[in-house]
Amino acid sequence: MRTKLLSTAVATTAVTGLLAAASLAPAATAAPLVETGRSGWDWDRDKHHGKYLSKKVTGKRVFEHLEELQEIADENGGNRAAGTEGYEESAEYVERVLRRAGYETERQYFPVTLFDLEDLTVEVPGVELEPIAMTYSTSTPDDGVVAGLVEPAIADGCPASDDPAAPHEDSWAGVDATGLIAVVQRGSCPFGAKALAAGEAGAAGVIIYNNADGALNGTLGGANEGYAPAVGVTATEGAAILAAHEADPSLQVTFDLQATTTDAESFNVLAETRRGDDENVVMLGAHLDGVDEGPGINDNGTGSAAILETAVQLAKDKRINNQVRFAWWGAEELSLVGSNHYVADLVENDPEELEKIAAYLNFDMIGSPNYTIGVYDADESTFDAPVTVPDGSAAAEEIFTDYFDDTEQPWVDSPFSGRSDYQAFINNGIPASGLFTGADAIKTEAEQAIFGGVAGEQLDQNYHGPGDDLDNVNKEALDIMSRAIGHAAQQLAYSTEAINGVEPDDDRGHGHGHGRGHGHGGGR
């Protein structure tokens, strides 16, 4: 029996790092009941090659890794953020488990700028606000500012652009923002571009309000002294600020944001199977770091633990045609730094190795408490992608959707937005897919009917907060997604034919590949 799927809006406002490009995505809209189709994959021939790991990579085993990550967070100030001892010990745990399973591990180091928020106050008379500082925001003067509000000529506050794919007029043309607090809408360009445009217009600060339900927890993508100090608020809060400004154009706002940045070093953890063709590599990745505010167990202990258990179980499989490489990315929460470094290093130093990557699968938050079972919508059957979708990505998507259909597990599309660690891969033409159970998007009634949970609440009510601990993980979602990850890894280890046309070599499965080496620099 094929399971019909209701492709409803799963408005993914995922981790902070992926929000640097978040404003590029259109608002999510509901889609009708649809059937999925096969990609030409010879399912009857190949599907058994993924069955073993779908039975071995279980939520129970993955949760045991999460217990270790929670203990690490508890012993290190309550978090596992980049640049902290909690991150170091998280990496050491991953490395120990991998070595016990027979892998060689490597660390790939890179520079990173750490962001520390010291104080934040934004007060608009008559409006209740819970603003969130944008990562890498500049600071206001020590005592903050008290100033009026200003709106750009174009609501999104983006600078002029002559990009043929996304032309844009100067939002601040003819507007004097000197010394005022800008109020702009999310959309059309990255948050950093908005903060820089507001700063160049003379604004003393910028409030960016969401264009969809949920909080706006974003990053400016890197430090820049030209940014106006920037915070994010919800769509409802933004509407209230604009209404207050319309009612009283002379309204005075208090805006005080104090933050520091520090140059530091972080690293990725990398490992790959000993078996399989190293000319046709499949990659699985998840970010290992969390935010400063909490343990980061759903975001993203869950993805990290799931690919760790997948690596453990795949090491036992003798029928591997294609080498499988695993990556635990560092500093994702600081704007995808680790994954961007990995790909940039290949582009600059070893482009032939980059071309050997047949597909990249990304797993970021797979145990959300108010979950949906989301699959990146590479075929754009529900959401128009705001990025170029590499050829082969739709076939990668169907590895997951066909598996869910085969097991009669309902699922929904999640926008293929490029807002997580697959961004650098798709920017370089590598097919990608992934799974996601939701962050701060609001569950719809249609999604409640499919997956249970509570409509009108966030998919992860503790997203980027101190409550993102073991109790925040939905074990049912974790089990569903973990088994699917195991299935996809084993399936692609056997054959990537549907993605890149490379046929499986049944004589290779019991042997070794063409040698070892991760195909990247920067390790030590």
Give the residue numbers annotated as catalytic, written as ranges. Answer: 332
Residue 108 to residue 421: CA distance in whole angstroms:
16
Question: What would the two tokens of residue 133 be?
Answer: 């500082």
Which DSSP state fits 294? Answer: S
Q: Which amino acid belongs to residue 404?
A: F
CB distance 490 to 504 below 8 Å: no
Beta bridge partners of 259: 117
CB distance 131 to 236 below 8 Å: no
Query: From start to end of 290-350, where are the E strands?
Result: 322-329
Q: Which amino acid belongs to residue 308?
A: L
Q: Give every CB contact of residue 430 below 8 A, 6+ residues apart in sequence.
A: 354, 357, 359, 360, 390
Which DSSP state fits 472? Answer: G
Question: What would the two tokens of residue 55 be?
Answer: 């039975």
CB distance 326 to 270 below 8 Å: yes
| C-beta pairs of 314-318 under 8 Å, 24+ apart in sequence | 314/53, 314/273, 314/486, 314/489, 314/490, 314/493, 315/101, 315/102, 315/103, 315/273, 315/274, 317/52, 317/53, 317/275, 317/490, 317/493, 318/275, 318/509, 318/510
CB distance 182 to 154 below 8 Å: no
Residue 505 to residue 52: CA distance in whole angstroms:
19
CB distance 335 to 222 below 8 Å: yes
**Burial class (CB within 10 angstroms; exposed 0-12, middle 13-18, buried 19+) of 520:** buried
Residue 44 to residue 400: CA distance in whole angstroms:
15
CB distance 446 to 409 below 8 Å: no
Length of the chain: 524
